[in-house]
Every structure is written in structure tokens, then in C-alpha cells.
Structure 1
Amino acid sequence: MTYDPKLPADQGLIDALHVTGPSGEHADKLMLFGQFVGSWDIEWSGIGLDGEPARAKGELHFGWVLGGRAVQDTWIMPGRHEPVASTLRAFHGTTVRFYDPDLGAWRSTWIEPVNARVRRFIGRPVDGDIILLSDEEDPWLRWRFTDITRSSARWLGETSYDNGATWVFDEEMILTRRSR
């Protein structure tokens, strides 16, 4: 059977995957990332493929999944209605995050088919921020949510080539919640 884009989309996956809120005995812990549920605009800045500073606009969507036991997000850069700059390393990926009570932290997996990347992170709250660390392969990655409010946040991406002794800034995203 081949895919026919003229046929209506099957809602089965969406109905089975998405739910309206947290569930289970760790519902309170789920709010670390549950606070982001909704849609956001992104102002991205970093270094372009040409080595020069670059800026772009994107979009971010968070939602409850897997029976309310996890939070999933989708990051789209540039946004679906934005021009694609030839100097920007575009990405369109998703993260599934869930609280692991045995670890006392969040397990988080980033999947990005555009650049063929998959990375696993462990996330924890630290002094009002959220820090996610991927140290299973080189280089190490550290992603941080900072300056978190109900309507905005700052996301920082950093890389370490010496097992976390020093960190190099890669990119920043200013997140602004879309009004409902």
C-alpha cells in the first residue's frame, strides 16, 4: 500500500499518544517540563554554517503523551512559515521526556531526522533552572532552560570536548509563549 496525501489523516496515533494532562503517582514531578505545555515562538541565535553569527525564528510545541506519563516537544527551526537561510543548520526534531523515580531525574531523548541525530540526556532542576546533560558520547552536550517564567524562557546549548571540564556556547533560544 502506498501513501496517498489526498486521503484524510488517521487520527488513531494522535488519539492514542496525546492526553490532556499528567497522570500517575509522579504527576507532581512531571510538572518540571509540564510547565512548558503549549506553543512557543523561538528567537534563535548562534553560529551559522559559514562561521558567522546567525539569527532565525522558529516554533516549539510541548504536550502531554503516553497516558500523561511523559512530555513530548517538537522544535522546528526555522519555523514552518519562515524562510530558510542557506547559512543556518535547520532542524526539526522531537524530545520525549519522562521522570524516572529510581534515578530521581528525567530521562530525555532527542530525535532529529533532518541531521540524523539521536541523543539521550538526564535532566534535573538546579537553582530554578533545568539542566540536561548528555555525556554518553563525545562531545558532551549540556542544554539548559533558564530565566523560566509562565510566558518566557531562555534555552542555552553548550558543548564540552573535555568531559565537562569546560563548556563552549553553541546557541541560544529565547522562548515566548503564544497566547491561546
Structure 2
Amino acid sequence: MEFGNGNVKSYGKAMVPGNAGLIEALHVDGAIGRQSRELMLFGQFVGSWDLQCSRTDANGTVAEMEGELHFGWVLGGRAVQDIWIVPGRGVPGEGIPPLAFHGSTLRFYDSTIDAWRSTWVEPVNGRVRRFIGKPVAGDIVLLSDEDEPQLRWSFTKVQAKSFTWVGEISHDGGSTWEVEELMHATRRTVNRAL
């Protein structure tokens, strides 16, 4: 449903004023430019994924949850953005901290450092973290040491239809690491209705 100048559209039950312009300007169909090959490091994940997530809280209690993950090309095909939602939309516990999260990462390849700059923004738990990412022995490893504790996020066992994401934490400057989160992602063959 559109009203007036087309700036208000109905998506499901919610009225979303003005989002059409943002979506059109932000999202594109693929990588562009001289760094198209490098952009495929994260471009290979474009699409929608189902997540099986295991998270450990501060008391050592493990929570098992299902979630969703969506990757897309943005900023004129010069970057890859993702949205992580755990538990998934409409699932009990959605948006309830500290175990739930609903955040986004914006990633781009920076030729001056021959690596990816990546920033995670997650309002449910009030987190913003910057990472530098590179391929390492068949995996993709992102390190953040701007705040304590140090974080290491890795994409491992990457296949066309699946991968494992590992979130590790270090309280001793990277000398030792412990797994805080583990997610198994399976590519959706058909997008579910939202």
C-alpha cells in the first residue's frame, strides 16, 4: 500500500515511512569496482541463512537458540552488510538481553591494509566493536582489540550451503582464547515469508 508521494509503504502490519529510498540507495545486486575479487571473501555469504546458536553466559550456562542471518551487497557494491538475529524473529526470547542479539555488521575491503574493516553494531546489548579481518588457512578471522576483552570471530568450515561461526574471547591480550559463541549456519534454499 502506498500513500501520497510514495514515501509510506505497508510491509506486513507496520507502516514504514520513507524506507523505500534508503533501501534503494543502500542495497545493490553485486560487487563493483576494481576490488570485486577481494569483495567475494564476504560476498560469498550473500543470501539468507538459518542459525543454530550456542551461547555461554557469564555464569557458564549454555543456551541453545535458533536464529537467522542475512547478508547483502550495499554502498554501491563496495561493501557487504549482514543482519544477525538470535533468537529469530517471532521466537520467544527475541530481543531480550543478555543472550539475545539483533545486530548488523558493515564490512569493506581496504587495500591500504590488505584486509577487511568490519564494524559490529548491536543495540540490544549496547555493543559496537571494530574488527580487522583476513583469510587465514581457509578460514576468515576477524580480530578486535580496541576494548577489553579482546574478541576473535571466525568463519570456519565454509561451504556453499553451510559454515560455522566461532566467537572467542581473551582476557589476557590474546595469549589464550575461550569459545563464547558457536553458530552453525545453513543457507536457505527458499526465503521464508517474513
5 Å matches for 1:159-170?
A: 159-170=169-180
Equivalent in the alignment of 1:80: 89
Moved over 3 A (4+): 5-10, 48-51, 85-88
Deviations 1:30-80 (A, max 9, x none): 000000000000000122466322100000000000000000000001000
- AA paired with 2:180? D
5 Å matches for 1:82-121?
A: 82-84=91-93, 89-121=99-131
- Report if the CA contact (8 A) 1:48-1:87 is conserved: no
- Report if the CA contact (8 A) 1:145-1:156 is conserved: yes
Deviations 1:85-124 (A, max 9, x none): 8796110000000000000000000000111100000000
- AA paired with 1:74? I
Equivalent in the alignment of 1:58: 67
Given candidates 28, 40, 51, the residue that maps to 2:49 is 40
Q: 1:17 and 2:51 equivalent?
A: no
SS of the residue 1:11 aligns to: helix
Q: 1:127 and 2:130 equivalent?
A: no
- Report if the CA contact (8 A) 1:94-1:111 is conserved: yes
Task: Label 1:6 to 1:169 Cα distance change in 2 as closer, same or farther (>3 A).
Answer: closer
Partner Cα distance (1:98, 1:14) in 2: 19
Instruction: Give the number of aligned pairs.
Output: 177
Given candidates 133, 154, 158, the residue that maps to 1:148 is 158
Identity, % of aligned pairs? 58
Of structures 1 and 2, the one with the larger relative CO (CA 8 A, separation 6+) is 1
Q: CA RMSD in A?
A: 1.9
- AA paired with 1:82? V
Partner Cα distance (1:90, 1:30) in 2: 29
Partner Cα distance (1:144, 1:123) in 2: 9
- AA paired with 1:69? R
Unaligned runs of 5+ in 2: 1-7, 9-13
